[in-house]
Amino acid sequence: MKAVFDIEDAPPRQVEVDIRNLVVAGWAGRDMAAIEHHIEELEAIGVPRPSSVPLYYRIADNQLTQQERVQALGGDSSGEVETFVFCAGGEMYVSIASDHTDRKLETYSVAMSKQACVKPVARSAWRLADVAGHWDELVIRACIVENGVEVLYQEGPLSSLRTPQDLIAGYTGGAAMLPEGTGMTCGTVAAIGGIRPSAVFSMELHDPRRRRSLRHRYHVETLPVVA
C-alpha cells in the first residue's frame, strides 16, 4: 500500500512509502505480570492464549489505509490506538494507527480477527530520532462517540509499552531498523470502561515536551451480516 506522510520537520516535507509488509506487535506491554493477568482475563471469555510474548501478527498490506471512512462487517469491531513505525529512505519514522479488530472473531482466532479489519493510519509523522530520547514521555489517547457525545476511550504513556527499538529487534532478530517498506504497530493501552464499538474513532500521539500531536479520525460504516 502506498502511503504519503506529511513530516513535521524544518522545513516540512512529504515522504512516500510503499508498505509491503504490515506487522501488528501484540502483547507489547513492559509489565509481564499485567500481561499475564490480561491473558487470563481473555482466556476466561474464550480468547486463545498467545504462543509467545510479544507476538508479531503479519497483516495483508492492502489492509492499511489513510482514509477517514472505513467499512467493517457487523457491529463487533473496535479500534485500538497504537504508535506506527516505518522505514523510508533509510530513516525511521513514527505515526499513529488503529489496530481495528473484530472482537467476535477474536474469540476464535486473534490473527484472523486482526486480518478481518482495515488498519487506519494518520497522514502525518515525525522522525523517530526526534522523539526517541524522550519516548516514555509521549502519550497515546483515543476518543469514541457515545450517544452523540465524544468520550475518552484510551489514554496512557508509552512508558507502559515496549519501545520500538525493543519490538523491532524482536521482530528482525536483532536489527536496529525495520526493513524498507515495513510498517509496525507497537501495542496499545487499556480501554477505559471496557472494549466496545463506536462509529467514530479519534486517535492522538501527543508529545508534551515539544507540545505537538499527531492525530487521525475515522468513521466506521457497518456492513450487514447476511447468510
List, for residues 31-90, the tens digit of each pLDDT value.
Answer: 888 788 778 877 877 788 888 889 999 999 999 999 999 999 999 999 999 999 999 999
Q: What's the confidence (pLDDT) of residue 83?
A: 98
Q: Region of 180 please: left (phi>0), alpha (psi -120 to 50) or beta.
A: beta
Dist CA 34 CA 54 (whole Å)? 13
pLDDT tens for 195-211 read: 999 999 999 999 999 99
Which three cell numbers mark 173? 532478530
Q: What's the confidence (pLDDT) of residue 39?
A: 82
Q: Looking at residues 83-108, what average pLDDT do you find? A: 95
Q: Could you say which DSSP state residue 191 is in?
A: B
Phi first, then psi: what are they for 144, rounded to 5°?
-125, 170
Q: What's the confidence (pLDDT) of residue 225?
A: 95
pLDDT tens for 160-177 read: 999 999 999 999 999 999
DSSP 59-126: E-GGGEE--SEEEEESS-EE--EEEEEEEETTEEEEEEEE--EEHHHHTT-HHHHHHTS-EEB-SEEE
Strands 139-146, 149-157: pairing is antiparallel
pLDDT tens for 118-161 read: 999 999 999 999 999 999 999 999 999 999 999 999 999 999 99
Contact between 107 and 46 under an 8 Å Cβ cutoff? The reply is: yes
Q: What's the confidence (pLDDT) of residue 40?
A: 83
Mean pLDDT of the chain: 94
pTM, two decimals, is 0.95
| Bridge partner list, 5 | 15
Q: What's the confidence (pLDDT) of residue 136?
A: 98
